[in-house]
Amino acid sequence: MQQKILVARAVFPDVIDRLSQYFEVAANQADHVYADQELVEKMTGMDGLLTTGSERITAAALAANPGLKAVCNMAVGYNNIDVDAATRSGIMVTNTPDVLNETTADFAWALMMATARRITEAEHWLRAGKWVKWRYDTLLGADVHGSTLGIIGMGRIGQAIARRSSGFGMQVIYHNRSRLTADLEGRANDAQFVSKEVLLRTADHVMLVLPYSPETHHTIGAAELALMKPSATLTNVARGGIVDDVALIAALRERRIASAGLDVFENEPALHPDFLTLPNVVLTPHIASASESTRRAMANCAADNLIAALCGTSPPNLLNPAVRRKE
């Protein structure tokens, strides 16, 4: 009898076709976002799941589906999955690292530069018919070249962002759970390891690229924002919840920092409505990895993981290697 899998959100049709060669596939190509209990019901009888960051795979959901063998997330982050509960139940959990590093780094730069140079604010101003003459002080922004870039979270994506800074003559400082090797620091434009406090006080442009966890919740809050320069920018391409959105809104409104570029938000997609009232914030809808080639690579990586997990081999991106597949 064929094993059954649930593909919880819409994905490229050719990926569904590929999975159908191995499994009986319940595909959600209508892209309905399942509520928690609805998802539990859809999981019933499934051997595997292909999920995205929008599905909450809780301990209760796992307990209600004891036949489940694998949860394969189409994302680098996996804070939507209770990995500890999965491990206790013998369920393999995977993610899709590496395939989106360069695309996300490209987007992080685009968002930081749009923030520093007030690109979206300028476009809105132009579209509103306010451009009637040149002035010396129209929409003055901050330089990127020759400035100091501070990266919090120096994993693969953070290092890719740092490498791009060499073309702009930037100094790179970073804070991470652990210091990189001297070789990796050298490849990352001679990045210098500093404390979080020094980074926030020093950087002209602060970039957040760290994973979300209870320990990183509100890594940037009111106290941290108070350390930043009034001329500084903040860019978040990591996860919502790393920044205290209410504190950031207050800092932007009061011009205690110059501007922010945000691709992720607390409670997304229901972002705090006050962001929409602020001219000095660039807002994008969680699209840092959204090039077609990268999203295809992510989908196929998740499929690779699921096929391996259910066909008896070790998935290439197993997050809980201690788990033993239940027979």
Q: Judge whether residue 209 has pLDDT over 50.
A: yes
Q: Point out the catalytic residue in the list 121, 239, 266, 295.
A: 239
Please give the average per-residue pLDDT across 187-209, as a whole number. 98
Tracing tokens 């020094």 back to the chain, one arrives at 198
Q: Contacts by 277-286 with C-beta closer than 8 Å and gap 24+?
A: 278/249, 278/252, 278/253, 279/121, 279/124, 280/118, 280/121, 280/252, 280/255, 281/115, 281/252, 282/111, 282/114, 282/115, 282/119, 282/120, 283/120, 284/111
Tracing tokens 């693969």 back to the chain, one arrives at 156
Residue 1 pLDDT: 81
Q: How many contiguous H segments (helices) and E segments (strands) does the chain have?
A: 12, 12
Q: Judge whether residue 327 has pLDDT over 80.
A: no
Residue 326 pLDDT: 44
How far apart CA 54 and CA 22 sit, in angstroms, is 25
Tracing tokens 């990591």 back to the chain, one arrives at 238
Q: Judge whether residue 216 has pLDDT over 60.
A: yes
Please give the average per-residue pLDDT across 169-196, as a whole number. 98
Alpha-carbon dihedral 262, 266, 269, 274, rounded to 10 degrees: -70
Q: Judge whether residue 45 has pLDDT over 70.
A: yes
Is the CB of residue 44 less than 8 Å from the CB of residue 65?
yes
The whole-model pTM stands at: 0.93
Q: Which of the following CATH numbers is that of domain 4-98+292-310: 1.10.287.980, 3.90.1150.10, 3.90.1150.200, 3.40.50.720?
A: 3.40.50.720
Extents of the domains making up the chain: 4-98+292-310, 101-283
Is residue 239 among the annotated active site residues? yes
3-state SS assignment for residue 77: coil
The per-residue pLDDT of the chain, averaged, comes to: 96
Q: Which of the following CATH numbers is that of domain 101-283: 3.40.50.720, 3.10.129.10, 3.40.190.10, 3.30.70.360?
A: 3.40.50.720
Q: Point out the catalytic residue in the list 175, 205, 268, 295.
A: 268
Which of 146, 202, 211, 147 lies closest to 174 in space, CA to CA? Answer: 202
Is residue 268 among the annotated active site residues? yes
pLDDT digits (tens, 9 = 90+) for 113-139: 999 999 999 999 999 999 999 999 999
Please give the average per-residue pLDDT across 40-53, as a whole number. 96
Q: Point out the catalytic residue in the list 117, 205, 286, 295.
A: 286
Length of the chain, in residues: 327
Is residue 38 among the annotated active site residues? no
Banded pLDDT at 104 (limits 50, 70, 90): very high
